[in-house]
Amino acid sequence: MGIVNALNLPKDVVLGMPVITVTGNCEAHIENFKSIMEYNSDCVKLMTKKGPVKIIGNRLVIDYFNSEEIHITGFIKCIEL
Amino acid sequence: MTKLFRYFKGYLFVIIDSNAPERFLNLCKSKDIETWNLQNIDEEYAFYISAKDFKKLKEILKKTQMKLIIKKRFGLPFFMFKYRKHYSFVVGIFLSAIMLYGMSLFVWDINIEGNLMYTDNMLLTYLNKNNIEPGILVKEINCNDLESEIRSEFTDITWVSAEISGTRLIIHVKENDGDVIKKSSNEISDIVSTRNGVVTKIITRSGVPKVKVGDAVTEGMVLVSGTVALYNDAKEPIKSNYVCSDADIYVNTQYDYKDELLLKHEYKIYTGRTITKKICNVWGKQIELGISFKNFKEYDVITEDSVVHLTDNFCLPVRTGEKVYEEYYMAEGQYSDEQARKILNDNYDVYLKKMKEKGIQLIASSAKIEVTNDKYVMSGQVTVSEAMTQHVTIIPTIEPEKDAGTQ
């Protein structure tokens, strides 16, 4: 971690840390996730290298997902890390 | 674009009946199975999956012991499968493909660019005379020949480029900027006067000059002869050589100008009532769409149409557009003195401008307006210096050659 900081390297590439991009309260894009732990219309819980990430909201839809990223749309209320 | 690809490959809308779809989703992720629009509806999970990936699901469903229901199929493969026994459908596709191919062998639109002096109509009429019109086979058009034909027919066109792009024939032209065009052919000819006047300048390059500066000439008079006589030592003509005359001859001549304007005149008053009809032109036959209950006694027709094309250059033999009928009635009016003078002066200016455009040099012009009871008459004379370029082909006469030594 110290070396990464010292060399100013991107942590998502070197350490595989999740990158969460949220657009307003209707879209969330998560990169570097490992698996889906829980999914229903009110909650999406994902496992990442740094632990679980929980997205709580209403009418949550998984727009698409692949081995590296997942795109969630709906009414997002809160994101727990 | 993604949607289009998905449509061509085919995709399904499926539902899985499970309370815990997470394992199923993670297995999909590990096997790189693409799913989208995954949503939780009550106790069920619905999503879209491509037809190709759907086949990979079997193993996962077996592992997770889930049931999957196909709700709807989308895309071309399913569409084709559904109508596989509709032979007319297959025949229709086949026929339309043949028709498209067949139509691509013809020229359906002729586009002329760069013309100012010659209108599109003039050039299209000329092309029509040469059997080049929409509907001609592409292979029957020889662009090189067409270019040279246009250049020789229209002397003011200095450059032509014809190209066939798809089903469109595009002709680019460049017109002469107003200089006097010299005769380019090598036919044996005389140069004759086209007007009465006085010669002001003559430079002969080829042929025998028959007039000199200051001579009065009449219409039809030979100015430079293409017949060059050869003389023997006794200065007797023994033989005639024939050449294509070439000379710069300028003649001072006068043009009479006369223009009349009746004070009482008729003009159109548009009522504002119009009928607009859609038109469809198929293979040269115009079909008017729509019925109108209005009946106009006198009307103008304005037609605007454009060729239907699949791509920019793949035109079809169909033109669509609008036809507008504008009703008017004729009314009688009388010009005021000021209006009449303005119209006559404007006409006179246009006349002089047209002369200049023809390359004629104006020397002097005078015109006056005479007023009679019911009309204004503008008359005058325009003195110009005009180049004589009228060639008259001559037929050489075969003479028995005289002996050079005969005295």
Task: State the residue for tokens 């109108």.
Answer: B292
* A11 occurs within a structural domain: no
CB B151, CB B162: distance < 8 Å: no
Residue B11 has a pLDDT of 94
What integer is the mean pLDDT of A40-62? 91
Pseudo-torsion of CA B19, B23, B24, B26, nearest 10°?
140
Q: Which of the residues in chain B have pLDDT under 70?
A: 177-185, 398-407
The answer to whether A28 and A49 have CB atoms below 8 angstroms apart is: no
CB nearest B39 (choices: A61, A64, A65) = A61
**CB proximity A14 to B under 8 Å:** no
| Chain B residues within an 8 Å CB radius of A38 | 22
Report pLDDT for B407.
40
Do residues B192 and B221 touch, judged by C-beta distance below 8 A? yes
State the Cα–Cα distance between residues B9 and B5, nearest whole angstrom: 6
Please indicate whether, in this complex, the C-beta atoms of B21 and A66 are within 8 angstroms of each other.
Answer: no
Nearest-neighbour CA in chain A from B39: distance (Å): 5
Q: What pLDDT shows up at residue B86?
A: 84
Give A24's contacts (C-beta < 8 A, 6+ positions apart). none
Enter the ipTM.
0.84
Nearest CA in chain A to B45: A40
Q: What is the pLDDT of residue B185?
A: 61
Tell me, yes or no, whether A48 lies in a domain. Answer: yes
- C-alpha distance from A34 to closest chain B C-alpha (Å): 9
CB B171, CB B120: distance < 8 Å: no
What are B48's strand-pairing partners? B13, B36
The confidence score (pLDDT) of residue B10 equals 92
To the nearest whole angstrom, how far is the Cα of A39 from the nearest Cα of chain B? 7
CB contact under 8 Å between A65 and B32, yes or no, is no
Whether A58 contacts chain B with CB within 8 A: no
Interface touch A64/B36, C-beta < 8 Å: yes
The rounded distance, in Å, linking the Cα atoms of B109 and B307 is: 7
Any B CB within 8 A of A36 CB: yes
Cα–Cα distance, B367 to B379 (Å, whole number): 5
Any idea how long chain B is?
407
Tell me how far apart the alpha carbons of residues B266 and B390 are, in angstroms, rounded to a whole number.
Answer: 41
Q: What is the pLDDT at residue B184?
A: 53
Determine the residue of chain A that is closest to B35 in CA distance: A64
Task: CATH number of the domain at A66, please.
Answer: 2.60.40.2000
Q: Does some domain include residue A35?
A: yes
Mutation test of the interface with chain A: which of B39, B42, B60, choosing the one with the most A Cβ atoms within 10 A?
A: B39
Please check whether residue A10 lies inside any domain of the structure. no
- Using a CB-CB cut-off of 8 Å, the residues of chain B touching A40 are 40
B79–chain A nearest CA distance, Å = 25
Shortest CA gap B37–chain A (Å): 4
Q: Tell me, yes or no, whether A65 lies in a domain.
A: yes
From CA B384, how far away is CA B366, in angstroms rounded? 12
CB contact A41 to B (< 8 Å): yes
How far, in Å, CA of B195 to CA of B101, rounded? 58
Cα separation, B353 vs B355, in Å, equals 5
**Among B32, B36, B39, beta carbon nearest to A67:** B32
A25 inside domain: yes
B260's CB contacts (< 8 A; 6+ apart) are B375, B376, B377, B378
A9 found inside a domain: no
In angstroms, what CA-CA distances link B198 with B181, B232, B388? 22, 34, 12
CB contact under 8 A, A36 and B35: no
Mutate to test the interface with A, among B23, B25, B28 (most CBs of A within 10 A): B25
Pick from B2, B18, B22 the residue to mutate for testing the A interface (most A CBs within 10 Å).
B22
Q: How many CB atoms lie within 10 A of CB A60?
A: 23
pLDDT digits (tens, 9 = 90+) for B79-117: 888 888 888 888 888 999 998 888 888 888 888 888 888
Residue of A nearest to B28 (CA): A66
**Residue B406's pLDDT is what?**
42
CA distance A68 to chain B (A): 9
Q: What is the mean pLDDT of residues A4-17?
A: 78
Q: How many domains does chain A have?
A: 1
Q: What is the DSSP string of B41-79?
A: ETTEEEEEEEHHHHTTHHHHHHHHT--EEEEEEESHHHH
Enclosing domain of residue A72: 16-80
Across the interface, whether the CB atoms of B39 and A66 are under 8 A apart is answered no
> What is the predicted pLDDT for the residue at A44?
92
Residue A45: is its pLDDT beyond 90?
Answer: yes
Residue B399 confidence (pLDDT): 58
The answer to whether position A6 is within a domain reads no
Handedness of CA A17, A23, A24, A25 (dihedral sign): negative
The verdict on B26 touching A (C-beta cutoff 8 Å) is yes
